[in-house]
Amino acid sequence: MRTRIDQGIVEGLFNDSVYKFLGIPYAEPPVKEKRWREPLPPKKWEGVYKATEFGPVCPQKGGASFDLRTIKQNEDCLYINVWTSDINSNEQQPVMVWIHGGGNLGGAGSEDAFDGTEMAKQGVTVVTFNYRLGAFGFLAHPDIGCNFAVLDQVAALEWVANNIESFGGNPNNVTIFGESAGAQAVRNLLAVRRAKGLFHRAIIQSAGFEPYVFASESSYEKVKKVTDKMFDRLGSSNLKSLQQIPTNKVLEASHEFSGVFPPPGQVHTPANLIWNPVPDGDVISKEGFPGWGKDVPVLIGCVENEARYFIKPNKSYTSETLKNMVQALVGPVSKRVLQILNNDNLTIYESLDKLFSTAVWFEPSYATVKRFEKLERNVYYYHFARVSPGGNRTKELAKHTSEIRYIFGNLEPNEAYDERDTNISKELQHAWITFAENGIPRNQDGSVWPRYNSKAPYMTLIKNEIVSYPLEINQLTQVIHSLRKGNI
């Protein structure tokens, strides 16, 4: 099946009632003299471009949460993928652009959990894409620049604006959504002036929240300091020389200085990661949200056992590790937090999960919802706590990333899920798609998810069913939030 875009004719696949166009370049390859440069628009081509397989993923040493579906890695990685049930430009379907996670170190738009087939069957045009990772996308240096991955994300949205009608999509109804580092990207795009008008709804899943109370924000100076160390390791800080260094050598140095290795006696948390977007006053605003149109609503939330993605139930953790993490995450209120955890009669592992999940996700997400409401924005807050049979068996429960397969309708492998999971998946797809259609998430019975209102705070709880639920802040979250507000 073929359609025409700005660059020329593309030929995709058609099966299971869905058109699939895979591996379309949305920018010129950022290689050689284009390494650490703003992405350039893709060149036009003669003839027909075969968009029938995923393009290479960006160089990485792990970080993907699911099957990448390709073994090709290359700096030539700026490719976009589209799923749609109709390629008639008059269809004007809602467009949903997924930004993948992976700690800004791994992952790709090709991961099997992100396959857009099931969502496309329901009348939306689904888009995924790759962006530069690690130091390739996130270093910061005054002679070179920064936020190259963010510029990639803007370039992908510009490609969507220019071409999505050829895939049945409406360029004036684009939802950006992402999880983990992808959610961080969504949050940052709210602060990117040149992204304004390129999206009309935003969904922030399990990241992209207010800064942690226990760690300094990612800053230009912080990333620049590590960039200097990496350049010392590579033997040059001259851009032309750096552009000639082999990809694998840069990748090794990027990984070495990435922050994935936790301090002695602690466990790794996302706060340790170095390669992040930074407010530079140019690409990303240093204050405010100039990319966020007043009429752009936000759906935001997290999952019950986020930390269990990072700390595994089959590993042993000591009381010393727990004490170290309490000190690292909530130092000024360590005694109170240890008392709360002890009173809950939890195992060391359960205590680590509760501490880690609350300090890194629950409290920052709560603070974000409150901030967004004060900005007079329409915000919908959810909490995902469904434990599948597979999650129960592994004791990972509702870990970080666990909601993704439900949203995309890709509950594989089947033995990990049951009929209730299938029903919840259908409900979540419906909520995400109705939000993309008109900015209000709904259940299949037509009931509306509650908009956050601090005077009568409700959220949507997704467990064995989906219900509107009074927003109850547990004692641990309250203590950490008080620390944020300076009341302790």
Cα(57)–Cα(133) distance, integer angstroms: 10
The answer to whether residues 80 and 54 touch, using CB atoms and an 8 Å cutoff, is no
Q: Is residue 358 part of a domain?
A: yes
CA 187 vs. chain centroid, Å, equals 9
pLDDT digits (tens, 9 = 90+) for 343-385: 999 999 999 999 999 999 999 999 999 999 999 999 999 999 9
315 contacts: CB under 8 Å, gap ≥ 6:
none
Q: At 366, is the secondary structure helix, strand, or coil?
A: helix
Structure tokens at 469: 């639920």
Cα(171)–Cα(484) distance, integer angstroms: 39
Amino acid identity, residue 463? K
CATH number of the structural domain spanning residue 338: 3.40.50.1820
- Could you tell me the pLDDT band of residue 487, with boundaries at 50, 70 and 90? low
Q: Is residue 352 part of a domain?
A: yes
115 contacts: CB under 8 Å, gap ≥ 6:
83, 408, 410
Q: Is residue 195 part of a domain?
A: no
Total tally of structural domains belonging to the chain: 1
pLDDT of amino acid 90: 94
Q: Is residue 202 part of a domain?
A: no
Of 84, 80, 45, 44, nearest to 165 (Cα)? 84
Q: Is residue 314 part of a domain?
A: yes
Q: Is residue 341 part of a domain?
A: yes
Cα(32)–Cα(136) distance, integer angstroms: 12
Catalytic residue among 180, 258, 357, 365: 180
Place of tokens 């992908």: 156
The answer to whether residues 20 and 117 touch, using CB atoms and an 8 Å cutoff, is yes
Cα(289)–Cα(191) distance, integer angstroms: 4
The answer to whether residues 466 and 424 touch, using CB atoms and an 8 Å cutoff, is yes
Of 101, 44, 67, 22, nearest to 302 (Cα)? 101
pLDDT top residue among 453 and 415: 453
Q: Is residue 83 part of a domain?
A: no
Q: Is residue 212 part of a domain?
A: no
Mean pLDDT of the chain: 96
Q: Which of 66-75, 213-222, 272-281, 322-331 has the lowest mean pLDDT?
A: 213-222
DSSP state of 414: G
Structure tokens at 460: 């949507």
Cα(42)–Cα(63) distance, integer angstroms: 27
Environment class of 319 (CB within 10 Å of its CB; exposed 0-12, middle 13-18, buried 19+): exposed
pLDDT digits (tens, 9 = 90+) for 192-220: 999 999 999 999 999 999 999 998 888 99
- Could you tell me the pLDDT band of residue 488, with boundaries at 50, 70 and 90? low
DSSP state of 142: T
281 contacts: CB under 8 Å, gap ≥ 6:
none
Catalytic residue status for 402? no
pLDDT digits (tens, 9 = 90+) for 315-354: 999 999 999 999 999 999 999 999 999 999 999 999 999 9
pLDDT digits (tens, 9 = 90+) for 416-445: 999 999 999 999 999 999 999 999 999 999
pLDDT of amino acid 21: 98
CA 53 vs. chain centroid, Å, equals 23
Q: Determine the structural domain holding residue 371 and report its residue range.
A: 298-485
CA 194 vs. chain centroid, Å, equals 20
